[in-house]
Amino acid sequence: MLRPIRVCFLQYNEGSILAQHVDPNRSEIRTMVTEEAFLELDQRLGSGRMEVDAPLAPLTTFQIGGPADRLFHARTSDDLAESILAVRDLGIPHFLLGRGANVLVGDRGFRGLVIRCEVDGTEFLGDGRVRAGAGVDTHPDLIEATVSRGLGGLHHFVGIPSTVGGAMWQNLHFLSPAPERERTVFLEEVVESAEILSEEGERRTVDREYFQFGYDYSILHDRADVVLSVDFQLTPAPTEELRRVMA
């Protein structure tokens, strides 16, 4: 039996629907954002920091779709938290975009603000602990940085396009290690904790159990929490052995 892939549809009206089954006859409620709301948002985020009528196709792996009313590049965790709080306060429809893998944008684009998560930064904290911003690319950046330092755990996910935040959202997984491929390895196995902006608007640190990880699932599917950074607990291993598994 064929299994549908998990795709996020970025619609003209409501934002995103994570769906394997979409009702083509569902009613549409088109949300228009007033210019006054965007002016207020511009003041809160910093004048001139948003792109207007920004093309979204170049930001997705499918390379199709129309523009967003506004696009904001969140380059720090403060940027990300402040932009999320602002659109929540102002009631502006928004969508958080990472690498844009498996995101389909409709031809008419998105009415609201698209927040591009570009929160960078990787810190090696000692004893195998690594902290990475939500916008860090797991492949190749984070994987290469950890493998080159002889730290294993993330190397199983080589070749899978995702940011750290996106990987947390779906509990990134893959069959590994090579060559046997005898079991599925999940991201949750190396997650220690994360800093989030909670649905209630609080910045706090939560442990792995908070995310209630499952297959293709985390609590982020059901709560409007936003990951700002993640602490991973990795295992020392010879770099050449890690690269063998990655091959």
pLDDT tens digits, one per residue of 149-181: 999 999 999 999 999 999 999 999 998 666 666
pLDDT above 70: percentage of residues in the chain: 85
Which domains are delineated in the chain? 7-117 (3.30.43.10), 122-246 (3.30.465.10)
Question: Is the per-residue pLDDT at 110 higher than 90?
Answer: yes
What amino acid is encoded at 46 in this protein?
G
Tens-digit pLDDT profile for residues 171-230: 999 986 666 667 899 999 999 999 999 999 999 999 999 999 999 999 999 999 999 999
CB count within 10 Å of CB 29 equals 7
pLDDT for residue 118: 98
Q: Is 128 exposed, middle or buried (0-12, 13-18, 19+ CB in 10 A)?
A: buried
Q: Residue 178: count other Cβ atoms within 10 Å of its Cβ.
A: 11
Q: What is the pLDDT of residue 109?
A: 96
Angle between helices 77-90 and 35-45 (to 10 degrees): 150
Q: Please, are residues 62 and 106 in contact by the beta-carbon 8 Å criterion?
A: no
80, two tokens = 């990300």
Mean per-residue pLDDT of the chain:
88
pLDDT in the model for residue 245: 87
Report the pLDDT value the prediction gives residue 27, as an integer from 0 to 100. 33
For the segment 96-108, what is each residue's pLDDT rounded down to a tens digit? 999 998 899 999 9
Count Cα neighbours of 19 within 13 Å in the Cβ-side half-sphere.
11
Q: What is the pLDDT of residue 8?
A: 54
Structure tokens at 188: 């949750």
What's the first-to-final CA gap in the chain, in angstroms?
A: 29
Q: How far lies 30's CA from each of 22, 107, 111, 209, 232, in Å? A: 17, 15, 8, 37, 41
The predicted structure's pLDDT at residue 22 = 32
Q: Does residue 56 surpass a pLDDT of 80?
A: yes
Q: 9 forms bridges with which residues in the sheet?
A: 17, 104
Residue 176 has what pLDDT? 67
Is the peptide bond preceding residue 161 cis, with omega within 30 degrees of 0?
Answer: no
Q: Is the peptide bond before 67 cis (omega within 30 degrees of 0)?
A: no
Residue 26 CA neighbour count, 13 Å, CB half: 11
User: Averaged over 24-47, what is the pLDDT?
Assistant: 76
